[in-house]
A and B are shown apart, each in its own frame.
Chain A
């Protein structure tokens, strides 16, 4: 047995039930917790170069915390998207397949926007999604034109870094 596989097994048997409990306390749901505990170890396996861990729990928790946030983000995106199209008549509502594609896309964008300040996010979305001019955005947000430019530039830079340098 390669040593990395052994290391994962040891890690798994020592920490799986603790991790499961930790995830459950965050998610409040046993089935999701079991799924994410599994995913956490899969992620770990993909990082085989770093298995001699000094603080395995801290490391597992870091991975798991990221997965929990991904999970919540997916839930919130789906919920918010369904709400945003709820008023559409059945004929105009996107098909199940379209919805799945859109959700995937929105999730990717949401991940890019993570960590932006609310005002920066708002200015950026008004520009990108709604195609408003900076003047219109400045009016709507009640800030100066210069601020709008700064917000949009900041958001684009943030996305650039995540896209090309992460």
Chain B
């Protein structure tokens, strides 16, 4: 990069990252503000941790977080199984009946507006309950099914693109040496795509943890998730406890992302070295 163009590009990048990060930083800063007005800095009593303490005593938020955690963990585990199977099928079997449909069904949830997915899932659950009596009412089960349906699509993309970039020679060699397909998958393929599966799990977890719309449609009484509680609070305006929640979320996510990318960078260096 040289000359005038590079200044232009650097300015654009600086502006773009400022745009992405100023809102996040402002939430972090104001989570330490003593004032209940949130964005008006009370310099006499700040910084303070009092909203952190009050968040830890907010049972409504803690209960919702517990439900969200359960749904997110079950969802991520289920989505990883379904998504890995779909991604493996799409990447390794070049022709099979229904390939086009499977491809379409795993691409569409990525762009489908959530209100449509949410509404359609709810109507399905209601129709199923009327005809076969399952699921009886709505709650954690129906929410988890809803989350798995859209987050498995993301896992599929991640696994599929990882499989597309690695050489099939290793798998073929193992087959030539007499290993059965199932064994090849568990001994060769799975360890190689493990980083993709791990990031797929984390992605599915966060998608579920953050989801508001599909949860609102498919949840029942007494199963409000964290985003649902946050949404109803935020609709009434800013609240210091939400800033604390945001700061904690950002801290956990950043640690996780940095940790995983370090681990992956090391793994790929090792892979290249051997």
B is a partner of A:
no
